[in-house]
Amino acid sequence: MTILATPTRRRRRPHVKSRRARQAQAEQNRRVTDQILQAGTALAAAAAAAATVTQAQLTDAELQAWRQDLEARLATVQQHPEQNLGFIEEQIALGAREPLRLLAQRGAQAKANATPCGCPQCQTELVNQKYLSRQIDSRFGQWVVFRRYGWCSPCEVWHFPADYALGLAQHAPASPYVQEVAALLVSKMPPEQAVLVAERFGLKLSRCLLHREAHRQGLKAEAARAASLAQLDTWEDLQQLAGATEGPPAQPFTLVIQIDAWNIRERDAWGQTEALRAQGQPLSRWHWVYVGTVFRLDHRGQTAGDRAVISQRRYAVTRLGVEALIRQLYREAIDCGLGQTNEVLVIADGAVWIWNAVHDRFPDARQRLDLYHADQHLWTVAHELYGPGTPEAAQWVRPLLQQIRKDQTPALIKTLQELQPGLDQALHKKVQTQIEYFESHQNRMHYRQIIQARKAVAKGTATPAQHLKANEPLGSGAIESTCRQYQCRFKRTGQFWTMPGDEALMCLETFWRNGRWHELYPHVKLTSPSLN
Ligand SMILES: [Zn+2]
């Protein structure tokens, strides 16, 4: 019997099992259908309710609940001996969160409802109009907005006109404020830190959202930059640009441009390192980031402690090459008054690419080699001759440093040439390199007038012309400090970038520094009246 029973069970068991499974499946289907129907009904009801919203308002009951909640929260703080104003601030913010979230949701809904359902390109009214909800991550938390959408027959595309009106991007839940916060935080600090900082300001945003959104915002900034640069390409746009800047200035001014570069570490071929190495392909990790700044000399001054400050300046920063930098810098220079200036002064170190690029784009510019780089080249010779840090090296270099400051570069070159016969071959070659450096830059080495003017200012005997001259920078310190500031974000230990990633974030940071943040986030004007 057992022998018989077993095969019977064996035959029946899968049968029973499959029947039960079918029943379970049917039950599951019924449940899912019920859920969909319920959700559909709920959604339809919510959509219908949303469609009637015309104003962002709280009901009396909601206001009453808010007041009661707030009173209870504050009472708790009052009774607690150790809770200070910080607790009051936190409790008010926590209590206001829900009413503010509701207000934001209703405000957005009212705006969505008031938006005509037409094609943003051809203005045709959309057909097949329906409602669809989407989730938003806003300043005040998450909520859902319903908006109409429809089909544009001429353009053959579905449109959600309310999304454009609200400033929402496709497939990204961030509200414009959250877009801005992501851009601001992630261009200043790594996303894992940004999550925690945002949380302290009452914004619960994931690392993933911050990272993705900041990158998207960076691409938006790059597009805005490209549009601004495109104005350089047509005669009409250029005329408009020149017209947009104010009329002739009350006094002539000099436009100062400083250029430099630093390098960033990128992981070019993710996951292919070993394979590429095996093929003997060189892997370059370090790439140049080109940096420039432009400002009017009359916007440069001194603090009480004699530190140089520049009240208004523009920046150009890019990974896209020297040409890209010079083009961006030229665009910024126009905004700084390139059309009205009586001269341009370029200050940089000895890098050949800089001077070639300057020659092309600013052919009439006065050129200056950064004084401190010139000094360093002399110190290099001194250390080679007498050993690094020796008193002999210092003694030898001192009169030569003075020659640089007195614009006696030919005499300096002669001194170095006279040294050469007594040197061994290796040292001879090193000194020759420095001679060539000074020869190629001697037309850029004019410091004497500035130093004299500064002395006259200190003595109180300066003429008006000397006052102007004294304000001219001797070196490219302004751009070098800019490089360091960018490096604080982009050159942290263990950091690897990708080119699209770093360029996008650096573009955002540069919009911020150039005072152009409101071009990306127009709502900023509301809280920064100076931008209006
Ligand atoms: Zn259309």
pLDDT for 313 beyond 60 = yes
Q: Which residue has the tokens 């319903």?
A: 146
Three-state SS sequence of 453-513: HHHHHHHCCCCHHHHHHHCCCCCCHHHHHHHHHHHHHHCCCCCCECHHHHHHHHHHHHHHH
Buried b (16+ CB within 10 A) or exposed e, 406-430: ebbbeebbebbeebeeeeeeeeeee
Tokens of 201: 């300001």
> What is the Å distance from ligand 1's center to 164 Cα?
14
| 433 backbone dihedrals φ, ψ, rounded to 5° | -55, -45
DSSP β-bridge partners for residue 118: 125
> What is the Å distance from ligand 1's center to 373 Cα?
59
Residue type at position 245? T
Question: What pLDDT does residue 2 have?
Answer: 39
By the 10 Å C-beta count (0-12 exposed, 13-18 middle, 19+ buried), 479 is classed as buried
Question: What pLDDT does residue 476 have?
Answer: 85
Tokens of 452: 């004299």
> What is the Å distance from ligand 1's center to 111 Cα?
21
Q: 277 pLDDT band (50/70/90 cuts)?
A: low
> What is the Å distance from ligand 1's center to 372 Cα?
60
Q: 283 pLDDT band (50/70/90 cuts)?
A: low
**CB count in 10 Å sphere of residue 256:** 29
pLDDT in tens, 42-90: 788 888 888 888 888 899 999 999 999 999 999 999 999 999 999 999 9
Question: What pLDDT does residue 203 have?
Answer: 93
Instruction: Find all residues with CB under 8 Å of 203, minimum gap 6, and list them.
Output: 139, 178, 181
- Mean pLDDT is lowest, of 126-130, 186-190, 311-315, for 311-315
Tokens of 487: 């490096």
Q: 11 pLDDT band (50/70/90 cuts)?
A: low
Tokens of 394: 């210092």
> What is the Å distance from ligand 1's center to 128 Cα?
14
- The answer to whether the beta carbons of residues 381 and 293 sit under 8 Å apart is no
Report d(CA 336, CA 344) in Å as an integer: 11
> What is the Å distance from ligand 1's center to 118 Cα?
8
> What is the Å distance from ligand 1's center to 121 Cα?
5
> What is the Å distance from ligand 1's center to 39 Cα?
33
Q: 133 pLDDT band (50/70/90 cuts)?
A: very high
> What is the Å distance from ligand 1's center to 222 Cα?
26
> What is the Å distance from ligand 1's center to 125 Cα?
8
Three-class DSSP category at 182: helix
Report d(CA 18, CA 236) in Å as an integer: 77
Q: What is the pTM of this model?
A: 0.84
> What is the Å distance from ligand 1's center to 519 Cα?
26
Identify the helix (H) or strand (E) that includes residue 371: helix 371-386
> What is the Å distance from ligand 1's center to 119 Cα?
5
> What is the Å distance from ligand 1's center to 154 Cα?
5
> What is the Å distance from ligand 1's center to 153 Cα?
7
> What is the Å distance from ligand 1's center to 136 Cα?
26
Percent of the chain surpassing pLDDT 90 = 56
> What is the Å distance from ligand 1's center to 272 Cα?
45
Report d(CA 55, CA 52) in Å as an integer: 9
Sheet holding 127-138, edge to edge: 127-138, 141-152, 157-159
Report d(CA 522, CA 505) in Å as an integer: 19
Report d(CA 167, CA 174) in Å as an integer: 9
> What is the Å distance from ligand 1's center to 129 Cα?
14
> What is the Å distance from ligand 1's center to 354 Cα?
47
> What is the Å distance from ligand 1's center to 493 Cα?
50
pLDDT for 4 beyond 50 = no
> What is the Å distance from ligand 1's center to 166 Cα?
19
> What is the Å distance from ligand 1's center to 233 Cα?
29
- The answer to whether the beta carbons of residues 268 and 323 sit under 8 Å apart is no
> What is the Å distance from ligand 1's center to 147 Cα?
18
pLDDT in tens, 425-472: 888 999 999 999 999 999 999 999 999 999 999 999 989 889 888 888
> What is the Å distance from ligand 1's center to 152 Cα?
5
pLDDT in tens, 161-182: 999 999 999 889 999 999 999 9
Report d(CA 348, CA 369) in Å as an integer: 6
Buried b (16+ CB within 10 A) or exposed e, 123-156: eeebeeeebeebebbbbbbebebbbbbbbbeeee
